Structure formats: C-alpha cells, structure tokens
Amino acid sequence: MQDTAIVSKIFFSKGRSNLSPEDIVNIQQYLNPVLPEELVNHYLMHNGGIPSNSFWILEDGCSLWVKKFLPMKFPVGTERTLEDSYLLMVAKNVMPKALIPFAIDHGGNYFCIDTFGEVYFYAVDRWDEALNDEQNHEKAKKKLGVSFQWFVNQLVESDEYED
C-alpha cells in the first residue's frame, strides 16, 4: 500500500495497493470505456488517496474541495472504488456513460473525466425532478479543465489564495 507519493507538486496519502498494467486492462474491460492515458498513468503511480493540495478555485473565486481520489480494485471497508462508483451512477442513470468519476468532494459529488481526457465537476446533489435525465446530466456537469494532469497541477493547498 502506498503511504505518500508525489505527482508534480502534489502528494497523495492513504492510497491503496499498487495497480499493475494488467489490473488497468481488466478494469477497462469491466467498465467498457477506455480510460484516458493520463488517468491510467496516475493510477499506476497512485491508486486513490488524499491529495495534499485539495482545492480547485473556480473562476468566480469559489472553491471545490477534493476529499479524495477514488481507488481502483482495492477498497477498504465500505469504501467505493472508481469502478463501483461509475457502474452505480450509470445504472441509476444519474451520470452519463461518457463520464468516469475519479474523485469525490465532501458532499458526495464527483470529479470526473471523459474519454477525451477533459475534467468535470459533477454535482449529483443538484438533481431536479422537473427535468429529464439528459437535462439533469447537463445541469450537473461543469467543465474544469482540458486534461487530467492539468487539473491535478491546478489544485491548491488552501481555499484561500492570492490572485
């Protein structure tokens, strides 16, 4: 099990057991969508965990707080894995198949990546019964970045930052 590791300027603690390339292939076959290469590379180094820099600052100055990156294959206790979260959200039609959740915030909302590698915040707590599923999917989705690595590199240590 990983204790602490680094990606760029970010440390990840409390990660799960290391994954092999074969584990990733098996998970992709199980899920069906192909995981973007940057996400795969990250998970080969860090299987989930809590990032040292855990705040994403939005354009309006508000912040999103990344609680943890979801592990693959090796949950602890009742913890959900990336693949469990994806399959559950897609089965309930709460999330479109094109988004793959890789992290959660403290409210149970997801940080997701699409198969093109773009990163989104997905607010499952904003579901509106008056809207159809597709409308809710669009309402819940906010694009954060053009790539996984860019997203990770933009995380900051505190939600208090200087311009």
Contact between 42 and 18 under an 8 Å Cβ cutoff? The reply is no
Q: In this predicted structure, what is the pLDDT of residue 7?
A: 43
Q: In this predicted structure, what is the pLDDT of residue 47?
A: 94
Q: In this predicted structure, what is the pLDDT of residue 14?
A: 85
Our measurement of the distance from residue 21's CA atom to the centroid of its chain's CA atoms, rounded to an integer in Å, reads 19
125: its two tokens:
């707590």
Going by C-alpha positions, the residue among 37, 39, 3, 43 that lies closest to residue 20 is 43
CA torsion, points 33, 149, 42, 50, in degrees to nearest 10?
A: -110
46: its two tokens:
């860090």
Assigned architecture for domain 4-154:
3-Layer(aba) Sandwich (3.40)
Q: Give 10's pLDDT tier (boundaries 50, 70, 90).
A: confident
Q: In this predicted structure, what is the pLDDT of residue 126?
A: 83
Cα 100 to Cα 117: distance, rounded to the nearest angstrom: 10
HEC string for 46-60: CCCEEECCCEEECCC
Q: What is the pLDDT of residues 46-78, one digit of tens each?
A: 999 999 999 999 999 899 999 999 999 998 888
Is the per-residue pLDDT at 147 higher than 80?
Answer: yes
Return mean pLDDT, the chain. 89
pTM of the full structure: 0.88
Q: How far apart are the first and last CA of the chain?
A: 37
For the chain, the domains span 4-154
